Amino acid sequence: MPVTLKLATSLDGRIATATGESRWITGEAARAAVHRLRADHQGVVVGVETALADDPELTVRLPGYNGPQPARVVLDSRQRLHAGCKLVATARQVPTYVVATEAPAAHLLEAGVYVLTVPAVGDGRPELKSVVEALRAEGIGSLFVEGGGQVAASFLRCGLVDRLEWFRAPMVIGGEGRPAIGALALAELAAAPRFRRVQAQPLGEDLWERYERI
Ligand SMILES: NC(=O)c1ccc[n+]([C@@H]2O[C@H](COP(=O)([O-])OP(=O)(O)OC[C@H]3O[C@@H](n4cnc5c(N)ncnc54)[C@H](OP(=O)(O)O)[C@@H]3O)[C@@H](O)[C@H]2O)c1
């Protein structure tokens, strides 16, 4: 399954301040490019912390766009997503999945959310290769992972990321900000995931870099 990881960061690779403020790091042109990339994928994935902090819609919103909306997928072991979130409230308009490790919660099923129960690994979170398989079985053939840092790190640790779409804004947030990529637990530099840059292009004030896995 093709998996693209999108990152919208400061120059120092941060995606939010320490208090979680992240709107907006990149400018309008970068955000429009993200919407075009969403439209090219069948599923958009976020972690539950991003879903709770940002309350995103994760839809394609472009002038004149009337193509299909990708399914929205939230990795949420304990089903913390609540009925007040936009993703849950609009689940009957746009297919919305919660990937959990427990039996489906009533408040999600009642709202029309599809809950996929996937076995947990050591950290109590759904095992990502099983997540990808479960989504493929639902007919979702490509994934656009939009963060946050913990989910980005999990996909990289499992070697599942084929492409990076990295939008970099000319600002510095500092070490207390939230990292774009959480801990990878690398034993040595040779184990670091490596990518080849295939394109770099200015987008307004920002820089859009595209990478493929080597
Ligand atoms: N600048 C940007 O473009 C951008 C994009 C996205 C997010 N953000 C910001 O990033 C912050 C949130 O990022 P975050 O790193 O704290 O959280 P996150 O990656 O959004 O969510 C992490 C949570 O997802 C759940 N999860 C389930 N399966 C997982 C797996 N296999 N691997 C990792 N997590 C899994 C875990 O909660 P359970 O254990 O309860 O399941 C975990 O605590 C917010 O402040 C948001 O605003 C910024």
Distance 109 CA to ligand 1 centre (A): 22
CATH class of 3-213: alpha beta
Question: Distance from CA of residue 91 to its chain's centroid?
Answer: 18
- Rounded-to-integer distance, Cα 165 and Cα 92, Å: 29
Q: Which residues line ligand 1 at a C-beta cut-off of 6 Å?
A: 8, 15-16, 20, 22, 25, 46-50, 53-54, 75-78, 80, 125-126, 128, 146-151, 154, 178, 182
Span 112-142, pLDDT tens digits = 999 999 999 888 999 999 999 999 999 999 9
pLDDT of residue 9: 98
Give first-to-last CA distance, the chain, whole Å: 16
0.75 cut: is pTM over it? yes
Give Cα separations from 141 to 41, 70, 131, 158 (angstroms).
8, 10, 12, 18
Distance 153 CA to ligand 1 centre (A): 10
Residue ranges in the chain whose pLDDT is less than 70:
none
What does the domain layout of the chain look like in residue ranges?
3-213
Q: In terms of Cα–Cα distance, which of 124, 194, 202 is closest to 170?
A: 202
The torsion angles phi and psi of 197, rounded to 5 degrees, stand at -75, 130
pLDDT of residue 207: 98
pLDDT of residue 122: 87
Please report the atom of ligand 1 found closest to the CA of residue 147.
6
pLDDT of residue 49: 96
